[in-house]
Structure 1
Amino acid sequence: MPEMQGATVAIFPVILCGGAGTRLWPASRPARPKQFIDFVSDLSLFQETASRVSPLTVDGGRLVVVAGAPHRSFIVEQLAALGLDAVVLLEPEGRDSAPAMAAAAAWIASVAPDGVALFVASDHHIPDDAAFRAPMKAAAEAAGQGRIVTFGIRPTDPSSAYGYIHPETTGLSPVRAFVEKPDRARAEAYVRDGYLWNSGNFMVRADVLLAQLDSFAPEVSAAARAALPDETSAVMMLTDAFRHAPKISIDYAVMERSDRISVMPVDYRWSDLGAWDAVQALGSGDRGDWFATEGDVGLVRAAKGMIVATAGVSNIAIIAEPDAVLVCSLDRAQEVKGLVERIRSASPAHAHGAVAVSGAWADRARSFDCWLRLNALPIWATIGVDDDGGFRETVQLSGAVSSEFRRARVQTRQAYVYAVAGAAGWAGPWRTLVGRALERFEATNLRPDGLYRTRVASDGAVLDDSASLYDQAFALFAFAAAASAGIAPDMMAERARALREALASLRVPSGGWRETGEHPYQANAHMHLLEACLAWEAVEPDGEWRAMADEIVALARRAFIDSRGGFLREFFDAEWRPASGEDGRLVEPGHQFEWAWLLTRWGRLRGEAWALEAAVRLYDIGARGVDQTRGVAMDALNDDLSVRSDQARLWPQTERLKAALILAEAAEGGRRNLLVDDARKAMAGLQGYLEPSGLWRDKMRADGSFVDEPAPASSLYHIMVAYEQIRASAAVLPELGWSPVAPS
């Protein structure tokens, strides 16, 4: 970067992601504040800021981001879209700007004692990146000598929307005074007298800022130093010590009290986009479908799937979100903040945004436990079962059922569900349900070659005689669950061993097993086969199940998990190379979570560090597929981690919950707190699909509505495995504050 040549200090740009952008409601809310929204260009304001400041790290600095923990996914996803790396410090609780800056300074000082921090807001619009960077060399030199250099924008008009700085002289100058936002008359006088707009951005050596805080606000600097975690990962959660910092702005803590402040006048175009009139003034804030009559003037933003039509309007803003609409005069845009305060009193969810997660973990777990035991298990054990013991595929939300066919995977999954329910103390007729279902399955689905066919009619007639690897995996899994629950364990072990031998016909020369259908070489069927092997290894610890599990994990390490990106692909060719075209690019967030859960379990059994490290990477990639607006994991990404499908089925929510819990068990400090909070959010997301009756919705659209269709029985398997993990984690994570019902 030419303008930085010759710099003698390492610059650490620090992007501060605080603030809710209340005046830009309903687009900007605490759940997704304005910095993560594309108001001006195809990039969000945060991405524009990161792109603008990242070149300043050329002489050994690092990009640093300080943000609240709920916004982690926005930050990770949006940085990755730009191909940028950063150190992300997550606040367990917002404490205003001084503690946030102190934490960043403490981290910078720990890695570069002479490092200079450039503190910038994440939500400002500066269209000329080069003009922004041009004064940085001189500012860095002054900061390196111990000054605190703030940047004052030469005003283009006497705005009353900004604070002002009164410099003593021209050029880089000591500051005579900082002044609050003035009225119009006073703003005109300030402009005449050479005052500058206060951009809120400044540069200071990290150790100097900490020393200033030691002098003026020692509780802030002490809390910040204590809050630094021991870990050195890219995304770090500040410890609970951060909560003890006084809630104070940097202006009150340092800027208005220090004798080290200098101001550098700058001329680049700048806007803090404080309200809708500022967005409209840039001329590029319209979004979505707007149908207008001739002469209509204003700002219109329509959410996906919505149309806004106007006739004879001028100087208004119309902001249409799926759950809220604002119509206001642009001349009165500053009044939106007052409206939001009134809305917050009447409907907090509409003020906060769609992903507000209320309810303590213990309350949610207790509710989920009751729903499963008292509603879901009974309804599927009655109207979800045919007279001959076979399980039905679906139940309508009205209670109507259909028995036209039976898939092997549903019969075995439901058998697993009730075997586990019995082991967990459910008082229903679980032994009868499991025993009858597996006997019927053996009679109708077993082929002469020892494999199990895919689909039969309710009377046992063969509808699809193929034998998919996926279905064999679930047959093994059901047999293991039955044996573990004490249902004919010897017979179940014999069936499992016979099926394992029969799988030899599906062997692939390059390793693994072949699937039926359009994608014979895939990760998904192997994932469930690994799940079944681990279930049988728990029953028969020494033997071929262990070796089979190890073989599957070795294949995942060699082929399924991308060696550079750390994500898991779905489809491959016969040599286990990524499939050609779009099939090879598919990345499913739910499967990232599910493999993270399985690899953690396998890694614990083997003491294998690689598996645990890979699980953490897979989890973080899966989190990239969580839609922050809806609070749910979406169905599909591409291998560049862009969104392929924004539909969100039920099952990825259970996998997110399982993975967050099992990883939290071994995590420490801030990472553990973060994962427990992720689990709480995942539980909230899952419970949004559940109907009080014991049924559920399966497919959520992008707007948060559900596809109107029967509840599929196959989802109960995912729900039950998540329930198993909740029970297991409750025993080792006391912060969950919930104890499951003990088996009788």
Structure 2
Amino acid sequence: MDRSVFANISKWMFEDALPLWSSVGIDPKGSYMEFLDREGGQPEISYRRVRVICRQIYVFSHAYQLGYEPGLELAKRGYDYLIAHAWLGEDGGWARRLSADGAVLDATPDLYDQAFVLFALGWYHRASGDAEAHAWARRTLAYIEAHMRHPLGGFLHEKPAVGPRQQNPHMHLLEACLANYEGVQDADMLRVAREIVGLFRDKFFDIESGTLAEFFEEDLSRTAGDKGRWIEPGHQFEWAWILVNHRRLTGDDTADLARAAVAFGEKYGVDPVSHATYNGVRDDGAPLDRASRTWPNTERMKAAVAMYELDGVDPVPVLAQSGNLLLNRYLAVEPRGAWIDVFDENGQPRLDNIPTSTLYHVFLAFAEALRIAPKLV
């Protein structure tokens, strides 16, 4: 068994990524950079997305728990900034976007952002033990339940909602509730988590075809036409990992859903030559977007961890394929600790900036691979 991928993952996390994002990734105006330029410099950026601040709070909180001592203070930087600038009150929730100086640019309540605030608060509480962080998490969940529920089940993706309903914010809300529940066995977090798993089983996912739709009508039936047939293999894998995590924490049986989601993703969502995970396929498996962003490949790694813990399926082939693809293609750039976020179907980079938001995906997947590495013989 080639275990070199685990050593290379650890080296990248602790010797490359964390030093970079703990230095040039820190926003001199208070929190974290929205992105870096292609050379790893700090460009002038007029906005800061709340979800990015929250993802970095998670990264540094988790890093601290893995032994990276500066992580707690770096996480606290984002936590303090978030509380000071982004909270709009009991009837407003959290802002979506701030200016470079912390003023509110977009006050739209967005479920995706509310979910990532909840996720960040859960991880920061677990790292710091700060009871006030959990109080903020409960306040956040109370806002979501009071102001973002949809009369036909589930939650609004934004308020007021524009366009079709979406599964993705629900997925991250489930992830966030579980992160909080793992730290504090909060009954409300568990109740909402179970509700969203029920939506997945009954509405979002079709177990016969093994497909997870992205877009829905008001009643959560799949949107008609091509939009309703769009499937993202990365989300198939990501849901599977979350569902197995839910099963671990609650004992609820989600195994059939996770297995079906991974089976479709592996069969239709991975290039047989490069092993890159496609951005999008149709519900019959036909590839629609053979380009590959960083994050679907990280989610394939997490799904392999989930299948190992669920059924004992050897995760090393997938961890080696996707891990080495990431290390040798996406992450093999200067400055070390950065990435190219997208490669086209021919393996050519689409050069833009270095989006901070990607680190959440890579760090979590790599941490999961390292977590199970000692168990593998």
Residue 657 (structure 1) aligns with:
301
CA change 1:426–1:361 in 2 (3 A) is: farther
Q: Does 1:707 align with 2:350?
A: yes
Structure with greater proportional helix content:
2
1:542 deviation in Å?
4.4
- Residues 1:457 and 2:105 aligned together: no
Deviation at 1:607, TM superposition (A): 3.1
How much does 1:563 deviate? Answer: 4.0
1:398 is displaced (CA, Å) by 1.1
Corresponding position: 1:386 with 2:30:
no
Q: Aligned pair 1:632/2:276, yes or no?
A: yes
Q: 2:40·2:338 contact (CA, 8 Å) conserved in 1? A: no
Correspondent of 1:536 among 159, 175, 180: 180
Partner of 1:405: 47
Residues 255 and 310, structure 2, Cα contact 8 Å, conserved in 1: no
Are positions 1:697 and 2:340 aligned together?
yes
Q: How does 1:201-240 map to 2 (within 5 A)?
A: none
1:676 corresponds to 2:320 = no
Q: Which residue of the partner structure matches residue 149 of structure 1?
A: none
Q: Which has the larger displacement, 611-620 or 600-609?
A: 600-609
What is the match of residue 430 of structure 1? 71
- Whole-angstrom CA distance in 1 between matches of 2:240 and 2:32: 30
Question: Gaps spanning 5+ residues in structure 1: where?
Answer: 1-359, 736-744
**Cα distance change on mapping 1:435 and 1:388 into 2, 3 Å:** farther
Query: Is 1:513 aligned with 2:176?
Result: no
Shift of 1:684: 1.6
- 1:41-60 per-position Cα deviation (integer Å, ceiling 9, x unaligned): xxxxxxxxxxxxxxxxxxxx
The Cα of 1:721 is off from its aligned counterpart by: 1.1
Q: 1:423 to 1:647 in 2, by over 3 A?
A: same
Write out per-residue CA displacement over residues 645-702 of structure 1, whole angstroms, 9 at most, x where no aligned residue. 111000001000011122113324xxx23x4312221212222210351100101101
Bigger proportion of residues as strand: 1
Give the match for residue 443 of structure 1: 84
Matches of 1:512 and 1:580, distance apart in 2: 20
**Cα shift at 1:404:** 2.1
- Once the 2 structures are TM-superposed, how far is the Cα of residue 388 of structure 1 from its aligned partner? 3.6
**Aligned counterparts of 2:295 and 2:196: Cα–Cα separation in 1:** 23
Offset of residue 479 of structure 1:
0.5
Choose from 121, 135, 138 the match for 1:479: 121
Give TM-score, length-normalised by structure 2. 0.94
- Does 1:547 find its partner at 2:191? yes
Deviations 1:539-564 (A, max 9, x none): 22241111110000001000000142
1:686 aligned residue: 326
Alpha-carbon separation, structure 1, partners of 2:216 and 2:149: 15
1-side partners of 2:208 and 2:152: how far apart? 22
Q: CA deviation at 1:605?
A: 3.1
- 1:104-503 correspondence runs (5 A): 361-402=2-43, 403-427=45-69, 429-448=70-89, 449-486=91-128, 489-503=130-144
| Separation in 2, partners of 1:542, 1:453 | 25
SS of the equivalent of 2:330 reads coil
* 1:719 equivalent in alignment to 2:366: no
Distance 2:170 2:255 in 1: 19
Given that residues 98 and 105 in structure 2 are in contact (C-alpha distance below 8 angstroms), is that contact kept between their aligned partners in structure 1? yes
The Cα shift of 1:603 comes to 2.1
Residue in 2 that maps onto 1:556: 200
Aligned partner of 2:264 in structure 1 is 621
Q: Matched residue of 2:212: which SS?
A: coil
| Distance in 2, Cα, partners of 1:454 & 1:519 | 18
Cα distance in 2 for partners of 1:444, 1:436 equals: 12
Match of 2:229 in 1: 585
Report SS of the residue matched to 1:707: coil
2:244 to 600, 612, 617: 600
Asked if 2 retains the 8 angstrom alpha-carbon contact of 1:422 and 1:430, the reply is yes
Contact 1:450 1:498 in 2 (8 A): no
Larger radius of gyration: 1
Normalising by structure 1, what TM-score? Answer: 0.48
Structure 2: distance between partners of 1:511 and 1:731: 42
What do the CA deviations read for 1:127-153 (whole angstroms, capped 9, x no partner)? xxxxxxxxxxxxxxxxxxxxxxxxxxx
Give per-residue Cα distances to partners, 1:475-500, cap 9 Å, x unaligned. Answer: 0010011110025x211011111111
SS in 2 for 1:463: strand
Amino acid at match of 1:640: D
Residues 548-584 of structure 1: CA deviation (Å, up to 9, x unaligned) = 1000000100000014212111111111100122221
Q: Distance in 2 between matches of 1:612 and 1:685?
A: 28
Q: Aligned partners of 1:396 and 1:691: how far apart in 2?
A: 16
The answer to whether the 8 A contact 2:180-2:186 is kept is: no
Q: Do structure 1's residue 612 and structure 2's residue 255 form an aligned pair?
A: yes
Alpha-carbon distance in structure 2 between the residues aligned to 1:430 and 1:604 = 27
C-alpha displacement at 1:361, in angstroms? 4.2
**Counterpart residue type for residue 511 of structure 1:** G
1:450 & 1:731 partners in 2: Cα distance?
A: 45
AA matched with 1:538: E
Q: Which deviations, in whole Å up to 9, do the C-alpha atoms of 1:155-187 show, x marking residues without a partner?
A: xxxxxxxxxxxxxxxxxxxxxxxxxxxxxxxxx
Instruction: Give the aligned residue type for 2:211.
Output: F
The answer to whether the Cα contact below 8 Å between 1:596 and 1:615 also exists between their aligned partners in 2 is: yes
Query: 1: distance between equivalents of 2:85 and 2:172?
Result: 22
- Letter of the 1:421 partner, please give it: A
Q: Deviations over 1:447-487 (max 9, x none)?
A: 13241111111112222121210000000010011110025
**1:519–1:728 distance in 2 versus 1, CA, 3 Å:** farther
In 2, Cα distance between the equivalents of 1:597 and 1:627?
21
The share of aligned pairs that are identical, in percent, is 34
- Cα 1:622–1:559 change in 2 (3 A) is same
After superposition, the CA RMSD in angstroms is 1.6
Tell me how far 1:435 sits from its aligned partner: 1.2
8 Å CA contact 1:585, 1:638 repeated in 2 = yes
1:643 pairs with one of 275, 284, 287: 287
- Which gives a bigger RCO, structure 1 or 2 (Cα 8 Å, sep 6+)? 2
Structure 2 distance, partners of 1:645, 1:532, is 29
Q: For the Cα contact (< 8 Å) 1:522–1:571, is it kept in 2? A: yes
